[in-house]
Structure 1
Amino acid sequence: MNRKIKVFLIYAYSFIFLYMFNSLVTWLFVRFKLSPLIGTFLEALIMIVGLFFSFRYLIKKYYLVDDDKLITKAWLFHFIPFIVTSFLLFFLIFSFIKIPSFAIFVYLNLDILLLFFTYKFAVEKFIEERNG
């Protein structure tokens, strides 16, 4: 299996795990009637930190890159377009699909596809180009 695909699949599983963990956090905040604003910030923090350290670990392990500055730059070039287009995709899908469970299903599948393209761009542009 291609190294880029293998690393992406592990990264995608970490994204899915973080998404499921954030669903648990949401449930806990609703269950105990805590502030939804704090819950949203906590979920965003969990997702950002989790994806960054997952990306960093996988690049160091599979691409043997130890330059933290390069890895951080690659992750930013991956994450910023991903998060912006992910929000746009979310609102676009929920405006067209009126069945919430189906809309979430479509959104998550398209989000994984979007995650792949932004990941591929960052790895090709920064990691493979400079690492060989």
Structure 2
Amino acid sequence: MLRAVDQGPCVVVCSTCRVSADAREDDEGRRGGALLADALRRAQEGDPALAEVGVEEMPCLFACQRHCVVQIRAPGRIGYVLGDFAPDGDAARAILDYAALHAASEHGQVPYRQWPAGVKGHFITRTPPEGFVVA
């Protein structure tokens, strides 16, 4: 059931997420999460600086009231779940830019003024790193 992945900074994409609030799949039968994962990987190909953030897919992150949901995580840092993205290059770039800032931060808290515009309004929840809670 579980598959080991690299323990470094990562964006985990819900591969079974809907394309939008109104549609489950695109015209070709692809789910939004799969499309977003592809867009994330294409964004990495266009900017080697983003290659240090892993992209993994996982079926269902249990945020089914939302669409195109991702988890941003890195060792020893607060994690975040974000959603309601369009499965496109603009969203992918904003997610990866935020994930890189998150990975470079001491505890996973990126000052709001540094957030890419494309992630603002997309945060659903934050999760403490293993063995910690936020004081």
Q: TM-score range by the shorter chain?
A: under 0.3
Q: Which has the larger radius of gyration?
A: 1
Structure with the bigger percentage of helix: 1
Q: Which has the higher strand share?
A: 2
Give TM-score, length-normalised by structure 1. Answer: 0.27
- TM-score, normalised with respect to structure 2: 0.27
